[in-house]
Structure 1
């Protein structure tokens, strides 16, 4: 779908959102972004609850039309998400690839070998796009029940915790261990603070846990020793709440 015109563009775009179950009133600013994220979580062809590439293309076109109404000089998105080479660059590399990059390291690669969440750069690009182009760094820490698995640093935002957890769960399928829990940590926050966003099949609302492992929570042996018990208690509490 291609949305054109000036006067009718907003109404046509709002009608698209309404057709896919979103409230068409007040679609602007943060509310517009949140509504689009909600629809993407449902219809995105890679990871959505009800994958539908054609629906996502319409939603993306409507989203860009509404954003252009706020910032008229913004280029339109037509159809599927833009190719990687259309993303903004920094030193010739897509901006999302710089997440977690240390200044003393060679330039990062923005190559994507697989168009699914088993590819770290695909995850970086997808979360960056869902965030609306955020450059807020978040490190995703999967935990297999005994130790922390390989972390992944992405550009994202705090309204994407569930998406970060889902990405970690899908990303881990390429290995032999499935995460029992997923934590996230924002760059600039205290190193001692992790936010639990998923455990034992339940998505959590950023439950904060403290550790003394510095940049790597796995370096805190006491934290690692007690963490399974914390997760057990959460699981028991969740089960009791469901039974009540």
Structure 2
């Protein structure tokens, strides 16, 4: 049930309200498709301004926890099993943080981690200083144990060679990179290529779907905050388990 806010906390009030509502949703205090208290009632419950309440609700709607119904109020969003909402295709966000933002438990099943020759399609991206080699990491990503995505990424070999020494099961590669060398993905050069593909036999087996199941296919070239090549990425996502909000 709603908790008292901590005025001295380093977290702003809107985030405290937001986090408290998330806890109440996760605990079942607010059930799926249930109407939550009105803005006026939330102001009284948390003793905050209307602006604070509206910012909290707007963020929860953006994250997929709540949905507004015109003239009726704000309701807890009903989620399909294994659904993950990718909120903004212009934002570099890890699968782990996307799951966290949608109340799902992220997971990763390593398929391969090996040094490979850079394919022709990625030579220009990595440039002459690559030595012609990249570190290929392929994993199946899961949400609450359900396969959601197959990611097949090529990392700049010399800078990210340490990833080959890590246990990549159920971990965020982005977090590992940030903790080890302080680099984060900044943007995708030339944006993302978003297409629809169908699962071949291998992808169908990895993602636990039928052959020819429709998949989202995203292809991008990602650089770090210093503008240097980070990874050349391909992701295949199960369409019925993954939603894009543009």
TM-score (norm 2): 0.31
- In the superposition, the TM-score normalised over structure 1's length comes to 0.31
Q: Which has the higher helix share?
A: 1
Give the number of the structure whose alpha-carbon radius of gyration is greater.
2
Larger strand fraction of residues: 2
